[in-house]
A and B are shown apart, each in its own frame.
Chain A
Amino acid sequence: MAPSLKKVEGLTYEAAFKELEGIVAALEAEGNPLDESLSLYERGQALAVHCAALLEKAELKVRQLGADGLSDFEGQA
């Protein structure tokens, strides 16, 4: 794993899920020392929990792009 691990809480769903898949692949490759596998696993669990939470609270965000830039879109039913 790269030393520059980002905080799980700050990751987008896409980034977190991608990293989770990378961790699964790394564990699948075998040959990791057990302590490394354990920290991979812990990181993976944290990512999975984060992803699940993002799915849980996901709410479609709609903004409007007009001539004067982005603004909240109010016309939602």
Chain B
Amino acid sequence: MLQPSLFEIPRLSVTEFTRRVRRLLEGDPALGDVWVRAEISNFSRPSSGHLYFTLKDPGASLRCVMWRSDALRVRGLDLQDGLSVEVHGKITVYEPSGQYQLVVDTLRPAGAGALFAEFMRLKAMLEAEGLFDIERKREIGNFPRVIGIVTSPTGAALQDMLNVLRRRLPLAQVILAPAPVQGAEAPAALVQALKRLNDQAQPDLILLARGGGSIEDLWAFNDERVVRAVVASRAPVISGVGHETDFTLVDFAADLRAPTPTAAAELATPLTILDLAGALRSDRQRLDDLLNRQIDQERARLESINMELRFYSPARRLQTEAQRLDDLTHRAARALTHSLALETAGLRSLSRRLEALSPLAVLRRGYAVVTRPDGGIIQAASQAPVGAELHVRLAQGALKVKVNQSNMEET
């Protein structure tokens, strides 16, 4: 054994010493990214939210701290002394007390690692079979009439979903196929419930859900039989298992994955009763508008037909005829006046010519007309024997004469 030199002057302060230890420990990659499995003891959770505990096995103990932000991600675990856990973290040295500790970032129940490995194996196998293919996903309708639910009849998840459905789409009918959602009998019961819903109820979609829990609690939703039953379901399946951060194989197989049961019920009802009422209102408005428009159109058509009708109406015909008659009358009158004037002029000349031809005019020139008493005109002496009484018409007055002598040859 090396003897210390008694004359040496101290070279390191405690701080420098501790810092050196710290650099040494924290520089070891094997201690900087490590999984440790042990039992919890001396567990404490002060109001700061950070977790302090010691991991122990028969041979040693290891102080651990888990900061609040990481501690918040630990769910479904009743952290207490004696619990077997697997933790992941890195070594640090807390200089004020000169103690090294493991800063834990992930904490899970012991055995979870094995479960996770199994999860990954199953996932890869089912994925290779194409059960998770995006092409397999079916559309979720806008307006489900019958909603199937597979979950525990006593869980909070069921009440959460029913509350959402009652609020969003009370027109829907819910058919619950109850099944235990954890424990050894859960997978077979979940498969049976899915099959029963499909065979007997023909729902428009199925909500397959359970509330949050530990990885073991949710394990039924990683069961190969349940995954295959989801794939085989005729009705589209919306999964809502655990919390936001929990992914189960059922989530991959489902047509739609919701982070929680509540969200699953919301995704199942894209249209709410408010949307329906709004659509109904706008349809009623549209109905009114359309009829009013047609009535307006009909009214306009009627108006225009009416105008046409008035155009061809007998009253209008009569007016037109009356006008034409007026017109004709007017023209006739004008024509008549004109021809009267002509006639008058003609008549005057005619009467002058007539006058010229009148026998009276001849008589005025000194001639006389001799007639027999019976009115026959005497044009030859032979017509008037001696002694015959004749009638002589002069320009002025008339004479009755007796024939004394007749000379037949004289003209």
- Which residues of A are interface residues toward B (Cβ below 8 A)? 12-14, 17, 20-21, 23-24, 27-28, 30, 32, 34, 37-38, 41, 44-45, 48, 51-52, 54-55, 58-67, 69-70, 73, 75-77
Distance in Å from the Cβ of B148 to the closest Cβ of chain A? 8
Are A60 and B172 touching (Cβ within 8 A)? Answer: yes
Given contacts A17-B280, A24-B283, A75-B154, contact A54 B162 (CB under 8 A): no
Q: Mark B284-317, 1 if CB is under 8 A from A, else 0.
A: 1011001100110010000000000000000000
- Which residues of B are interface residues toward A (Cβ below 8 A)? 143, 145, 148, 153-154, 158-159, 162-163, 165-166, 169-178, 193, 196-197, 200-201, 273, 276-277, 279-280, 283-284, 286-287, 290-291, 294-295, 298
Given contacts A64-B153, A76-B162, contact A55 B277 (CB under 8 A): yes
Are B200 and A55 touching (Cβ within 8 A)? Answer: no
Closest to B302 in A: A34
Q: How far is the CA of A34 from the CA of B298 in the complex (A)?
A: 8
Contact of A60 among B143, B165, B193 (CB under 8 A): B165
Q: How far is the CA of A34 from the CA of B176 in the complex (A)?
A: 50
Q: Is the interface of B mostly helix, strand, loop or mixed?
A: helix
Closest to B150 in A: A65
> What are the nearest 6 A-B pairs in CB distance?
A27-B290, A58-B170, A62-B174, A60-B166, A41-B291, A58-B171
Are A64 and B171 touching (Cβ within 8 A)? Answer: no
Contact of B283 among A20, A63, A67 (CB under 8 A): A20
Q: How far is the CA of A8 from the CA of B353 in the complex (A)?
A: 105
Q: How far is the CA of A45 from the CA of B285 in the complex (A)?
A: 10
Could you jot down 23 A-B contacts, CB within 8 Å?
Answer: A13-B276, A20-B280, A23-B287, A24-B287, A27-B287, A27-B294, A28-B286, A48-B280, A48-B283, A48-B287, A51-B280, A55-B273, A58-B171, A60-B172, A62-B162, A63-B175, A64-B175, A64-B176, A64-B178, A65-B175, A70-B175, A70-B200, A77-B163
Chain A residues lying within 8 Å of B170, measured Cβ to Cβ, are 58-60
Are B171 and A55 touching (Cβ within 8 A)? Answer: yes
Given contacts A12-B145, A34-B294, A55-B277, contact A61 B286 (CB under 8 A): no
Closest to A66 in B: B178
Chain B residues lying within 8 Å of A63, measured Cβ to Cβ, are 173-176
Are B273 and A61 touching (Cβ within 8 A)? Answer: no
Distance in Å from the Cβ of B65 to the closest Cβ of chain A? 41
Are A34 and B277 touching (Cβ within 8 A)? Answer: no
Are B283 and A14 touching (Cβ within 8 A)? Answer: no
Q: How far is the CA of A41 from the CA of B294 in the complex (A)?
A: 11
Chain B residues lying within 8 Å of A75, measured Cβ to Cβ, are 153-154, 158
Chain A residues lying within 8 Å of B143, measured Cβ to Cβ, are 14
Given contacts A14-B143, A45-B287, A48-B280, contact A65 B176 (CB under 8 A): yes
